[in-house]
Amino acid sequence: MISNSTILIVEDEDLMRGIIAGMMRDSGFRVLEASSGEQALEIFAAESPALTISDIAMGKMDGIELLDRIKQLDSEALVIMITAYSSVETAIAALRKGAYDYITKPFINENIIQTVRNALRQRELFSENRYLRRELKKKYDFESIIGRSDALMKIFKMIEKIANTNSSLLIQGESGTGKELVAKAIHYNSPRGDAPFVAINCAALPESLLESELFGYVKGAFTGAHTNKMGLFKAADGGTLFLDEVSEMPPALQVKLLRSIQEREFIPLGSTKTVTFDARIIAATNRNLEEEIAAHRFREDLYYRLSVISLTMPPLRERREDIPLLVRFFVEKYTRALNIPPKMVNEEAMQAMINHEWRGNVRELQNVIERAVTLSDEIIESQHLPEKVRDTPQTIKDVSGQTVTLDELERRYIIETLDRVNDDKNRAAEVLGIDLSTLYRKLKRYGR
Ligand SMILES: Nc1ncnc2c1ncn2[C@@H]1O[C@H](COP(=O)(O)OP(=O)(O)OP(=O)(O)O)[C@@H](O)[C@H]1O
Ligand SMILES: [Mg+2]
């Protein structure tokens, strides 16, 4: 990787340039040569070399000016300056302007090659950030996804299979159900796991920004485009691009996205050159995309491209058996974060949480626990839960599988009984086994 990197050598003295170029070629690098600052800039823009070695003292455009111009094109460019012993001050000025290092003439071969290797290695470590990724990988192990319900087990099975493919994936599901968590677990457990996971929220940016973030631009593409910018498509190369809230992508961009995914290439803003990419696309949405298509807000062809594989995260209220597991997991997480002893959750509080609707799903549960951990002493009681969680009426599944409250079920039963006895209140009370006065009170509440 390092040894066949491209190196640009800028030196106006042919003899000196030849010597350096020869040394670099002997070490296995691909070498480009420029005899002036102007020429170097052209080559730099066209070839994006991994590293540039430039003399400071040159004709019209000197090395310092060249450094400035290169940094304008790519603020992270690696540049090493060559200087004579007598003008080390200028070299230090170059370091302040962002040069990586400088070499003094006459130099010893080993030194210059070592400096180049160090620069490239450091860049590689920096950009790949291996350590961090390994940590992330642990964090996004499948085991970090808590739950043992059938609904979730099905998801686990699917993501294990999906991880080894390259197909585009669409994750649907209500807010807070774990769509991003699953996307990351798939990425970090796939062969792409060592390459970046790059996420963008399509709802968070105005159209023009979203476009330039995704596709990047070249210098001068629009006012304010002072340097080249690499788009996220390219940044996710070899890895995964996560398009969050994809339903919110403006129509014009949907077209461009579709084409890019189909062709596996795109054109940065203001550029004429196509750039290929190899990123796996995972998209997520908490809207129903079929409805969005029917309403002509989302392109059907893009939908099919994105949903080569699709999965839907079940809402928490449809897998209530996972709630106690999640509660314990989050209690431990937050007590540990606060560095305090573990806490218990009493029966009443747990029952209230099992019964709650959780419109905000796991995220809402997580927030409720975080708050309860701070408010409680050793035991988390229902008083430490928000009112709306505490007061959730008990629910149950009716014969058609719909979730209803016990009150609602009672109401239906009473009305049905009254119908069966031709609205004879005395008879109904007898059948229901309640006082006549209780029956009247209930009917009044139902508005009958
Ligand atoms: N099964 C789970 N086990 C542990 N933590 C979970 C689980 N599901 C979700 N979470 C946590 O809940 C929070 C919300 O999850 P995530 O951000 O993945 O949801 P989302 O579906 O992307 O939501 P939104 O649509 O609002 O963006 C995160 O902090 C996540 O770590
Ligand atoms: Mg999300």
313 CA to centre of ligand 1 in angstroms:
10
CA neighbor of 186 nearest in space, from 166, 165, 159: 159
Quick one: which atom of ligand 1 is closest to the CA of 171?
21
DSSP string, 333-395: HHHHHHT----EE-HHHHHHHHHS--TTHHHHHHHHHHHHHHH-SSEE-GGGS-HHHHTPPPE
Instruction: Supply the pLDDT for residue 3.
Output: 63
Q: Check if the beta carbon of residue 200 is closer than 8 Å to that of residue 244.
A: yes
pLDDT greater than 70 at residue 137: no
Q: How far apart are CA 281 and CA 299, in angstroms?
A: 17
Reported as a single tens digit per residue, the pLDDT across 297-356 is: 999 999 999 999 999 999 999 999 999 999 999 999 999 999 998 899 998 899 899 989
Q: Which atom of ligand 1 is nearest to the CA of 177?
A: 21
Tell me what pLDDT residue 297 has. Answer: 94
Segment 356-361 shows an average pLDDT of 94
Domains of the chain, first to last = 6-127 (3.40.50.2300), 134-314 (3.40.50.300), 317-390 (1.10.8.60), 395-445 (1.10.10.60)
Comparing 447 with 239, the larger pLDDT belongs to 239
- The DSSP string of 243-306 is EETGGGS-HHHHHHHHHHHHHTEE--BT--S-EE---EEEEEESS-HHHHHHTTSS-HHHHHHH
The pLDDT of residue 393: 64
The DSSP output letter for 87 is G
Q: How far is the CA of 136 from the centre of ligand 1 (A)?
A: 16
Q: What percent of the chain has pLDDT over 70?
A: 92
User: Which of residues 129 and 410 earns the better pLDDT score?
Assistant: 410
Which range is most confident: 75-89, 139-153, 205-219? 205-219
pLDDT band at 132 (very low <50, low <70, confident <90, very high): low
Sign of CA dihedral 431, 433, 438, 442: negative
pLDDT-derived band at 255 (thresholds 50, 70, 90) equals: very high
Residue 130, pLDDT > 60, answer no
Mean of pLDDT over the chain:
88
Evaluate if residue 124 carries a pLDDT over 70: yes
Give the distance (Å) from ligand 1 centre to CA of residue 368: 14
Q: Decide whether any atom of ligand 1 lies within 6 Å of the 178 Cβ.
A: yes
pLDDT at 392: 62
- Atom 12 of ligand 1 has which residue's CA nearest to it? 363
Q: 184 CA to middle of ligand 2, Å? A: 11
Rounded average pLDDT over 245-250:
96
State the pLDDT at residue 128: 55
| Cα 353 from Cα 391, distance rounded (Å) | 10
In this predicted structure, the answer to whether residue 127 has a pLDDT above a threshold of 70 is no
**Minimal-distance CA residue to ligand 1 atom 28:** 363
pLDDT value at position 136?
A: 60
Q: Can you give the pLDDT at residue 259? A: 93
Atom of ligand 1 nearest to the CA of 179: 21
CA of 4 to the centre of ligand 1 (A): 42
Distance 199 CA to ligand 2 centre (A): 10
pLDDT at 126: 61
pTM of full prediction above 0.85: no
Q: pLDDT-based confidence at 140, cuts 50/70/90?
A: low
d(CA 61, ligand 1 centre) in Å: 54
The whole-number pLDDT of residue 131 equals 55
Model pLDDT for residues 58-108, shown as the tens digit of each residue: 888 999 999 999 999 888 889 999 887 667 788 888 888 888 888 887 766
Query: Between these two residues, 1 and 35, which has the higher pLDDT value?
Result: 35
The ligand that comes nearest to the alpha carbon of residue 314 is 1
* Res 142 pLDDT > 80: no
Best residue among 363, 364, 367, 370 to mutate for probing ligand 1, ranked by most atoms within 8 Å of CB: 363
Question: Between these two residues, 245 and 108, which has the higher pLDDT value?
Answer: 245
In this prediction, residues 417-433 reach a mean pLDDT of 91
pLDDT of residue 444: 85
User: What is the residue with the minimal CA distance to atom 29 of ligand 1?
Assistant: 363
Q: Is the peptide bond before 315 cis (omega within 30 degrees of 0)?
A: no
By most ligand atoms within 8 Å of CB, the mutation choice from 150, 181, 328 for ligand 1 is: 181
26-66 per-position pLDDT tens digit: 989 999 999 999 999 999 999 889 999 999 988 889 999 99
The segment with the largest mean pLDDT, out of 24-28, 34-38, 161-165, 440-444, is 34-38
Identify the pLDDT of residue 394: 64
Q: For ligand 1, what atom is nearest to the CA of residue 286?
A: 25
Q: How far is CA 30 from CA 105, 118, 191, 251, in A?
A: 23, 17, 29, 43
**Ligand showing the shortest atom-to-Cα distance for residue 362:** 1
For residue 111, CA distances in Å to 91, 115, 189, 210 come to 16, 6, 41, 45
**Ligand 1 atom index nearest CA of 244:** 27
Q: What is the mean pLDDT of residues 125-142?
A: 60
Predicted pLDDT at 186: 92
- Nearest Cα neighbor of 275 from 255, 260, 292 is 260
What is the CA(229)–ligand 2 centre distance, in A? 26
Task: Supply the pLDDT for residue 109.
Answer: 67
Q: Of ligand 1's atoms, which has the minimum distance to the CA of residue 360? A: 26
